[in-house]
Structure 1
Amino acid sequence: MYPREELDEMVRLWLSSNRECERLGDWRPLASLYTEDATYGWNLGPELEFMAVGRQEIRDIALGQEMGGLDGWRYPYQKVLVDEVAGEVVGFWKQVAEATRPDGTPYEVAGIGGSWFRYAGEMKWSWQRDWFDFGNATALFVEMIQAGVLTDGMKRRMERAGGRPDGWYRLGGAPVALWDRP
């Protein structure tokens, strides 16, 4: 159990760090907010899941490789729920591209995205699991390809999408299960 004030401070730190990473177009600095042995994963549909184990994999793979090409994207949190008894936080966010449609509306992934965190003290997360609407994200990327509005970084990301990138595992084959918590 952690004091509510400490968890609220962690959330403030997390949100301000996210905004700074959005501004920089580089998500890797967020790795400093995880414990050395933290795990970070998400599901990629009926056959695949992603898992990064340890701060270095979180920095290099989850925040580097997987967020690579998403420069100019924002992930504004819409709501954050804090459970000080369990030491857990859940945040709901949107995925919004910098590019806009001809009518001026931003390209935005439909559906709900979010992150579920386990706090470890000392302003660090020990566990994070994300969810997002993979089908709607794919549909939006196809729409952006057809409109010719992908950034150069996203084009490079799409070019290297063949095969199975680091951190991607067959469902149930990751080194840590999605539901395993410390």
Structure 2
Amino acid sequence: MAFDRSELDSMRQRWEQANVEVEEAGDWRPLAEFYTADATYGWNYGPGWDFMAVGRDEIRDYAVGYEMDGLEGWTYPYQTWVIDERTGDMIGLWKQVFTAHRPDGTPYALEGVQGSWFKYAGDFTFGWQRDFFDYGNVTALYTEMLNAGVATAGMHKRIERVLDAAERREPLPGWYKLGQAPVPFW
């Protein structure tokens, strides 16, 4: 299904503005309104786990809720977009940047390429989203921040939540063993 390019550009602008607002508020849950009721949102968590939220409620509660809790002070500025009006595919490449800086003045930021691949569904909503980032770089950055003493209380709580779940051998909401998510990634 083809889409009007001006509609896709408007969607991109609305999405970017909403992201700025939720970053400032430290609560990403309002972004759930940008998805269809049956949308899916997933990403990979390294060699053993995938994350998948199915439906707007899980996207709100898990993907942009539970998974983002503790990441106050982080921004995800979009660097560029690739948009295909013939298919509704929208790929936004972003950075993950924390407000604190290293002693040398550089910000704590995730290295490598990060992004989101969206499938536009019309009516200013997405039918699905797949994020991609280097989980190894995330782990290295969080470790560096913990060692430097700049990790926030929310980040500590987030890390403890993951470690507690691993110790109990129970996946967190939306976490599935690799390849077992209820919706295929591609």
Q: Note whether the superposition's TM-score is higher than 0.5.
A: yes
Cα distance in structure 1, aligned partners of 2:110 and 2:131: 15
Cα distance in structure 1, aligned partners of 2:127 and 2:144: 36
Which ranges of structure 2 fall in alignment gaps of 5 or more residues?
Answer: 166-170
Cα RMSD of the aligned pairs, angstroms, is 0.7
Q: What's 1:37 paired with?
A: 38
Cα distance in structure 2, aligned partners of 1:5 and 1:59: 27
**Are 2:126 and 1:143 equivalent residues in the alignment?**
no
Q: What's 1:174 paired with?
A: 181
Q: What's 2:72 paired with?
A: 71
Q: Which amino acid aligns with 1:12?
A: Q
Once the 2 structures are TM-superposed, how far is the Cα of residue 152 of structure 1 from its aligned partner?
1.2
SS of 1:160's equivalent in the other structure is: helix
Once the 2 structures are TM-superposed, how far is the Cα of residue 62 of structure 1 from its aligned partner?
0.3
Q: What's 1:123 paired with?
A: 124
Q: Which amino acid aligns with 2:151?
A: L
Which ranges of structure 1 fall in alignment gaps of 5 or more residues?
Answer: none
Runs in 1 of length 4+ with deviation above 2 angstroms? none
TM-score, normalised by the number of residues in structure 2 = 0.94
Q: What's 1:47 paired with?
A: 48
Q: What's 2:4 paired with?
A: 3
* Count of aligned pairs between the two proteins: 179
Identical-pair percentage: 58
SS of 2:75's equivalent in the other structure is: coil
For residues 138-178 of structure 1, the C-alpha deviation after alignment (integer angstroms, 9 at most, x for no partner) is: 00000000001011111111111122211010011111011
Cα distance in structure 1, aligned partners of 2:48 and 2:155: 24
Q: Which amino acid aligns with 1:173?
A: Q
TM-score, normalised by the number of residues in structure 1 = 0.96
Once the 2 structures are TM-superposed, how far is the Cα of residue 45 of structure 1 from its aligned partner?
1.4
SS of 1:32's equivalent in the other structure is: helix
SS of 1:56's equivalent in the other structure is: helix
